[in-house]
Amino acid sequence: MASSSSSSTPLLYSCIAYNTTILTEHTASASSQASSLASLVLPKIPHSTPTKQTYTHGAHNIHYIASAPSEHPASAASAGGLSYLVICKAELGRRIPFGYLISIKDAFLKQYDPQTTDFASLPPYGAAAFNTTLKRLMHEQGATEAGQNDAIKTAQREIASVREVMEENIERVLERGERIDLLVDKTDRLGGSARDFRVRSRGLRRRMWWKNVRLMALLCAVVVFLIYLFVGFGCGLPGELCASLRCCWGEMDMG
């Protein structure tokens, strides 16, 4: 069941729920009727991805952190259905409420180990033993200056952590872009080399063709010259070649 107190704190109501089943809650001001807003908000909270969101209702802000199964290993998947919610006065801003939500999330998962607790099987108010912790943290981080500073520091650490993750993701994207640029540059160089190779290949083929033509012409000249020599040796010296040929033809006629 819910617990309540009359201590003055801008954090009016807080609960931890599995989907729409409230497991633990604390109401700091019953007269504010803030607890009735939780039943309106919880059915609207998605758990497909980790979410931090704020709703505005009159003079109140409703802040929540929703877990998702992707945040937890398969053995602790039920923790992905948890929502951590706080309703507070709008003038409190966002840093203190979200710092408080991070604090109760850490404390709750420390007390109820996700590896050994099946939150889906817990009945309504099945984690009511955590009510006193909600009450203490709501008072400390909502009503005391030191607690508010702690909540702000917690939120700042969370923001810094998220910023680091974003910077790492941006660096990976930029690095991937540089690698793509290098790959494109290498591809362009390979394309240019291929074009140069084709040009050089065509030039080489033409040179080899002309070389073969010259070689064939030289070979034909050598063959003609050798035939000339054979005929010359067979019929006489080159100067007497014609007379020898006439002599040979005459003898053939007489025969």
CA distance 215 to 209: 10
Could you report the per-residue pLDDT of 186-239, keeping only the tens digit for each? 666 766 666 777 777 777 788 888 888 888 888 888 888 777 777 766 665 555
Structure tokens at 63: 């802040």
Give the tens place of pLDDT for each residue, 67-84.
999 888 888 889 999 999
Tell me which residue range forms the domain holding 140.
Answer: 11-184
Note the pTM of the prediction, 2 decimals: 0.58
Give domain status of residue 209, yes or no.
no
198 inside domain = no
User: What are the φ/ψ torsions at residue 181 (nearest 5 degrees)?
Assistant: -60, -40
The domain total for the chain is 1
> Could you read off the pLDDT of 54-69 as tens digits, one per residue?
998 888 899 999 999 9
Q: What is the pLDDT of residue 148?
A: 46
In single-letter form, the type of residue at position 186 comes to K
Residue 82 lies in a domain: yes
